[in-house]
Copies of this chain bind each other. A is one copy, B any other.
């Protein structure tokens, strides 16, 4: 099949790129269904490629996830930059935390992953998470100096809270067999309740 020189090369490269796209598409579907620890063999199967191809395109499960989540994180950084120029510092922070919580619901297991990656230098998601944290940190500092948010909180605290809420809502979104008294709360209600606790109290 070897066509001479560049033609063969670029055909192979195009094919490789298509495989990468298919793998990402497939991974998005499988992770959405089975969570971030879903079977990578499943991902490869559904993409119609061999398992070896997956490992050739992505050095690890986290590399796949990093590729899938990169856009989310970029949009959070963009939103943060935009919110910096708003008057309401506290409202800005809360809006950003809401957006973060939403993004973390991409796949089951993402919140956990993000919290761990924040603290693990070796994670493929480490830098992505750290950048995102920097964006949030700026918003937090502004909200704190405006007096709208307790001054003893750190951005690490808030990311953990956000992750916790995202985990809760992720589970609440699943099919429930008995739905009487344990019906899941509205998506944003839990976050609202918890964020209430972040304001300074004047008793």
Contact = CB atoms under 8 A, between A and B. Distances in A.
B115 A176 contact: no
Decide if the interface of chain A is mainly helix, strand, loop or mixed: helix
Contacts of A160: 168, 171-172, 185, 190
14 contacts: A112-B171, A115-B168, A118-B182, A119-B177, A120-B177, A154-B185, A155-B181, A156-B181, A156-B182, A160-B168, A161-B194, A164-B164, A164-B168, A197-B198
Contacts of A133: 181-182
Contacts of A198: 193, 197
Contacts of A119: 174, 176-179, 182
A157 interface: yes
A168 B163 contact: yes
